[in-house]
Amino acid sequence: MERRMTVKNELGLHLRPAGELCTLAMEYESKILIHFRDREFNAKSLLSVLSACVQCGDEIVMTFEGPDEEEAAERISAFIYGLNG
């Protein structure tokens, strides 16, 4: 399953939201990846998410693969779109 999203948070995926994203992703058994600028980043790894350097206005594609992929996709999409500051 794939979701295309635009990051609206003014500061992008900086430390706080990146940490929250990783914590949320780790709740799921599914493999969760962020695809950005022709690279893949593990959404369950804080260092991986931070190394993506996702800024405000950047479009990312997230993929979810596993038994709980639908729930993971819904919750993580809601989290990304709900980020503020």
Q: Which residues are catalytic, by number?
A: 14
Q: Which helix (H) or strand (E) holds 81?
A: helix 69-82
